[in-house]
């Protein structure tokens, strides 16, 4: 009975995998249980582009006594050298080209070890208990593999295993438009590169159609062979648009080899290799591919494009961050122990070797079904570094650790066309990403779309149509069009993807009348560089629908027409444009226990992408916060960009954590959330070279850490993340200061506040600086509250200081 069931699983997996080999072998060949060790790595010295005496990967060791091969393998990565098949707990010694010892390591429970921080060069060897590998080359970023590494590997529909420059295999699944085979090509092709369950070979298009017909969410799908719905761009949308999509599994996850190290350099250059392998396929139109995806697979695009693969046509990143430390992990220097911690915990579990519990479901199933490649690719998983310990050991931003892992580091190296979409209130990656947009200034072919909303909103209809135009023109080299079937299905699809939110059908593209691609590209290039959509959720479909109500175009970010405008704090909780003559002071008890940790729970029903989530955005607590508000505005006021709360602060402690929130106290008595910022006061030193009047930039270096001096007012500038919000005439601009927490649906903070610290703000010298775009007539009336996506509402209540 067991054998029959195993055979059933084997056959099902074989059909899904298609052809799971770089050399085009059948799925059956790779899934036979007795195929252990066969073709575990398809690399060769010639394919990897390294000399005969310096193998980049899969170097068999020679027994020093008998001269016979023993099961020890090794390969050189960028700045690293990996070893597998050693005896667990045995000592491994790294030797340089002269035979001198460089360092030692101990093989883990799986018999593997990675030497890190190794200087690039040839002639390295690894000596084990009874064996020494042949010569190996540790690569540098400037080492470019021979073209044969890419042209020698043929991909087929379904799951493939593809060798990278260092001998590590990545799992890649080729997905085609429904009913098509590779013989129907060439296809316009996109690559989605992610550490989520992306290369799982199941058919999400068919599964999604069934879920939509049943009126259920895509998150309800439970088939372990289906790709994660977070990879919907490549696994569902691209094939529906007529694209071939290649879902590339990041090293150290799923059925890919290697260890998981979040956006480390080898992973970044895997993206280069993946692009080049895919582009080399005969079924790829023009032998050029695009990168597409949202969140994880949006962020990865910025790294890969920064390496400049020659056959990359364009990228279309959505819902990204700019820096793993300042952008998402440590806002203002305070560890995000909500989303960031849970996300890292999930990545750590997913990096476990399949079939161990916690590994990605499809990898578990394939290993159990006998997929030899997937099984062998688990060997380095125990080398995944402890991400939790890494966070604990590095409370400050360490450039040597963080720079290569920061999308902003790679942004100014990107030369291909870019279509970037982001939401200011993104509950996952956060709203700090606009800080890197200026790094794209040297690239003339960049289009940025910004809006209020949450992570999933990057795909909303008003943006989606422009995104398709971009992909069709710059990747597909074709006249843009939205397939009728997708447009018809789109309203139900959005409900399934965005917590039941309503939407309009995807609008038609603007190029139906065009017949010449070059002319259509020229027309597209007339679009403003920065498109800002306002009041998404406030349209005629009803509160919270995926529907912005108006938009503006700008030629740059930061917006050059925005004027830094100062509002001074005054007694009675007032913000005034005239600086008070006689400063006073206000104090508050910094106590995070006075409010909920977050504005939403973590149950499935508490979905930030729903039309009207059940936010618990509690009022500013008397005695535990300060509020300052302008008088009712006499004219519409448009804030576009990052803001700064420049405090003169003293504290009863040597350090304190600050949370600053910008909100809109409306003429109807409701208060709408706009944006927040955070800062640990000891991290307050600003980089004068990058900071502006309305945008303070801290580097969060340990060398800059400075305690507060008790009893003395000191300058502390808190950056409020960028936003685009229209304050209507009659509204009041409000800023609130309190302990971290209670403002975001998924972020919580590992704060030093314990309810015993009293902070005091000097009035008159403390000020709010906003980037205000003058002379804009707001074309719509005050939206309902709640309605704007990502912006909860509450009844306004003044803080104890009156603001």
The DSSP-derived string for 413-480 is T--S-EEEEEETT-SSS-S-GGGGGGGGTT-SSEEEEEESS-GGGGG-HHHHHHHHHHHHHHTS-S--
| DSSP string covering 243-293 | -EEEEEEPTTSTT--S---TT-HHHHHHHHHHHHHHHTSTTBGGG-EEEEE
Q: What pLDDT score does 215 carry?
A: 87
Average pLDDT score over residue span 127-138:
93
Our measurement of the distance from residue 194's CA atom to the centroid of its chain's CA atoms, rounded to an integer in Å, reads: 9
Least confident piece of the model among 118-127, 128-137, 142-151, 563-572: 128-137
71: confidence class by pLDDT, cuts 50, 70, 90: low
Closest CA to 162 of 85, 307, 47, 243: 47
CB atoms within 10 A of CB 357: 8
| Mean pLDDT for all residues in the chain | 91
Q: What pLDDT score does 50 carry?
A: 36
| DSSP string covering 9-52 | HHHHHHHHHB---TT---HHHHH-GGGTTTTS----HHHHT--T
Long-range contacts of 22-29 (CB under 8 A, 24+ apart): 22/152, 22/153, 22/154, 22/160, 22/161, 22/162, 22/163, 22/169, 23/153, 23/154, 24/154, 24/156, 27/158, 27/159
Average pLDDT score over residue span 128-143:
94
The interaxial angle of helices 265-279 and 296-306, nearest 10 deg, is 80
Does the pLDDT at position 699 exceed 80? Answer: yes
Q: Note the pTM of the prediction, 2 decimals.
A: 0.93
Greatest CA separation found in the chain? 90
pLDDT by residue (tens digit) across 403-433? Answer: 999 999 999 999 999 999 999 999 999 999 9
Q: What pLDDT score does 288 carry?
A: 98
**C-beta separation of 668 from 793 below 8 A:** no
Q: What pLDDT score does 220 carry?
A: 86
219: confidence class by pLDDT, cuts 50, 70, 90: confident
706: confidence class by pLDDT, cuts 50, 70, 90: very high
Distance CA 97, CA 592 (A): 57
* Residues in CB range of 556: below 8 A, 6 or more apart: 438, 441, 529, 530
**C-beta separation of 194 from 249 below 8 A:** yes
**C-beta separation of 51 from 119 below 8 A:** no
Q: What is the percent of the chain where pLDDT is above 90?
A: 86
Distance CA 245, CA 203 (A): 12
Closest CA to 254 of 120, 129, 161: 161
Distance CA 32, CA 30 (A): 6
Closest CA to 134 of 122, 118, 149: 122
616: confidence class by pLDDT, cuts 50, 70, 90: very high
Does the pLDDT at position 55 exceed 80? Answer: no
Average pLDDT score over residue span 588-607:
93
Terminus-to-terminus CA distance in the chain, angstroms?
A: 73
Does the pLDDT at position 9 exceed 50? Answer: no
Q: What pLDDT score does 603 carry?
A: 85
Q: What pLDDT score does 225 carry?
A: 98
Average pLDDT score over residue span 676-690:
97
Coil, strand, or helix at residue 160?
Answer: strand
**C-beta separation of 156 from 19 below 8 A:** yes
Q: What pLDDT score does 351 carry?
A: 97
pLDDT by residue (tens digit) across 459-516? Answer: 999 999 999 999 999 999 999 999 998 998 899 989 888 989 999 999 999 999 999 9
Distance CA 147, CA 529 (A): 35
Sheet of strand 189-194: strand arrangement: 158-163, 169-175, 244-249, 189-194, 289-294, 312-318, 418-423, 446-451, 530-534, 550-554
Average pLDDT score over residue span 764-783:
96
Q: What pLDDT score does 218 carry?
A: 87
Our measurement of the distance from residue 398's CA atom to the centroid of its chain's CA atoms, rounded to an integer in Å, reads: 20
DSSP H or E run through 744: none
Distance CA 230, CA 773 (A): 36
Does the pLDDT at position 390 exceed 50? Answer: yes
Distance CA 295, CA 455 (A): 7
Is beta strand 446-451 parallel, antiparallel or unpaired with respect to 418-423?
A: parallel
Closest CA to 475 of 291, 270, 240, 308: 291
399: confidence class by pLDDT, cuts 50, 70, 90: very high
Average pLDDT score over residue span 92-120:
98
**C-beta separation of 391 from 419 below 8 A:** no
Does the pLDDT at position 67 exceed 60? Answer: no
What Rg do the C-alpha atoms of the chain give, in angstroms? 27
**C-beta separation of 270 from 250 below 8 A:** yes
Q: What pLDDT score does 572 carry?
A: 96
Does the pLDDT at position 312 exceed 50? Answer: yes
pLDDT by residue (tens digit) across 514-540? Answer: 999 999 999 999 999 999 999 999 999
Sheet of strand 73-76: strand arrangement: 73-76, 80-84, 113-116
Average pLDDT score over residue span 209-221:
88
Closest CA to 267 of 355, 385, 154: 385
Read off the tokens for 119. 């200087």
48: confidence class by pLDDT, cuts 50, 70, 90: very low
Does the pLDDT at position 33 exceed 50? Answer: no
Average pLDDT score over residue span 42-57:
36
């Amino acid at each position: 009975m067991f054998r029959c069931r195993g055979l059933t699983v084997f056959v099902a997996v074989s059909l899904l995998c298609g052809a799971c080999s770089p050399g085009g072998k059948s799925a059956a060949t790779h899934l036979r249980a007795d195929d252990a060790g066969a073709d575990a790595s398809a690399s060769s010295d010639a394919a990897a582009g390294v000399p005969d005496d310096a193998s980049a990967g899969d170097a068999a060791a020679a027994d020093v006594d008998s001269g016979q091969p023993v099961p020890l393998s090794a390969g050189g990565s960028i700045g690293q050298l990996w070893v597998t098949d050693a005896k667990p707990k045995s000592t491994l010694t790294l030797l340089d080209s002269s035979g001198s010892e460089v360092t030692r390591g101990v093989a883990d429970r799986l018999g593997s070890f990675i030497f890190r921080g190794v200087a690039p060069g040839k002639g390295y060897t690894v000596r084990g208990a009874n064996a020494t590998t042949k010569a190996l080359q540790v690569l540098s970023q400037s080492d470019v593999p021979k073209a044969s590494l890419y042209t020698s590997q043929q991909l087929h529909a379904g799951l493939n295993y593809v060798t990278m420059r260092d001998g590590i295999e990545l799992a890649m699944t080729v997905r085609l438009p429904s009913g098509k085979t590779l013989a129907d090509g060439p296809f316009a092709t996109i690559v989605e590169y992610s550490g989520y369950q992306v290369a799982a070979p199941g058919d999400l298009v068919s599964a999604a159609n069934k879920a939509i017909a049943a009126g259920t969410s895509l998150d309800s799908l439970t088939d372990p062979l289906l790709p994660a719905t977070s990879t919907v761009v490549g696994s569902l949308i691209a094939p529906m648009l007529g694209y071939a999509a290649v879902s590339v599994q990041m090293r150290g996850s799923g059925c890919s080899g290697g260890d998981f190290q979040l956006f480390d350099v080898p992973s970044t250059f895997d993206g280069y290799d993946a692009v080049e392998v895919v582009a080399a396929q005969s079924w790829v139109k023009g032998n050029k591919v695009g990168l597409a995806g949202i969140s994880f697979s949006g962020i990865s695009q910025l790294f890969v494009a920064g390496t400049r693969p020659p056959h990359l046509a364009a990228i279309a990143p959505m819902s990204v961050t700019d820096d793993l430390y300042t952008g998402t992990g440590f806002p203002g220097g305070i560890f995000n122990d909500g989303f960031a911690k849970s996300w890292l915990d999930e990545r750590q579990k997913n990096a476990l070797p399949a079939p161990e519990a916690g590994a990605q479901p499809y990898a578990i199933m394939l290993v159990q079904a006998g997929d030899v490649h997937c099984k062998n690719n688990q060997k380095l998983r125990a080398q995944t570094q402890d991400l939790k310990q890494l966070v604990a050991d590095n409370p400050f931003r360490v450039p040597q650790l963080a720079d290569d892992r920061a999308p902003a580091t790679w942004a100014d190296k990107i030369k291909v066309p870019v279509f970037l979409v982001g939401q200011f209130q993104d509950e996952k990656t956060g709203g700090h990403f606009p800080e890197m947009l200026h790094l794209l200034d040297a690239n003339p072919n960049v289009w940025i779309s910004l809006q209020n909303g949450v992570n999933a909103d990057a795909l909303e209809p008003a943006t989606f149509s422009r995104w398709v135009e971009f992909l069709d023109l710059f990747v597909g080299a074709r006249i843009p069009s939205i397939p009728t079937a997708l447009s018809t299905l789109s309203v139900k699809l959005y409900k399934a993807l965005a917590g039941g939110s309503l939407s309009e059908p995807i609008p038609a593209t603007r190029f139906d009348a065009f017949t010449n691609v070059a002319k259509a590209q020229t027309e597209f290039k007339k679009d403003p560089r920065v498109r800002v959509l306002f009041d998404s959720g406030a349209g005629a479909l009803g509160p919270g629908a995926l529907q912005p109500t108006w938009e503006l175009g700008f030629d740059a970010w930061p917006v050059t027409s925005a004027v830094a405008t100062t509002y001074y704090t005054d007694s009675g909780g007032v913000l005034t444009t005239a600086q008070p003559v006689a400063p006073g002071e206000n104090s508050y008890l910094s106590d995070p226990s006075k409010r909920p940790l977050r504005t939403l729970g973590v149950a499935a029903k508490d979905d930030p992408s729903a039309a009207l989530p059940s936010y618990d955005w509690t009022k500013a607590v008397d005695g535990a916060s300060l509020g300052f508000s302008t008088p009712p505005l006499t004219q519409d006021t448009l804030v576009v960009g990052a803001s700064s709360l420049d405090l003169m602060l003293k504290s009863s402690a040597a350090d304190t954590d600050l949370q600053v929130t910008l909100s809109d106290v409306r003429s109807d008595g409701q208060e709408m959330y706009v944006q927040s910022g955070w800062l640990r006061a000891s991290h307050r030193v600003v980089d004068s070279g990058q900071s502006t009047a309305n945008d303070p930039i801290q580097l969060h270096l340990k060398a800059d850490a400075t305690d507060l001096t008790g009893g003395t007012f000191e300058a502390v500038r808190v950056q409020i993340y960028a936003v685009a919000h229209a304050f209507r005439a009659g509204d009041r601009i409000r800023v609130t200061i309190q302990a971290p927490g209670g403002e975001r649906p998924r972020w919580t903070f590992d704060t030093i506040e314990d309810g015993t610290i009293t902070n005091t703000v000097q009035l008159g010298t403390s000020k709010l600086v906003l980037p205000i775009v003058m002379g804009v007539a707001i074309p719509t009336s005050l939206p309902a509250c709640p309605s704007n996506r990502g912006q909860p509402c509450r009844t306004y209540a003044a803080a104890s200081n009156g603001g």
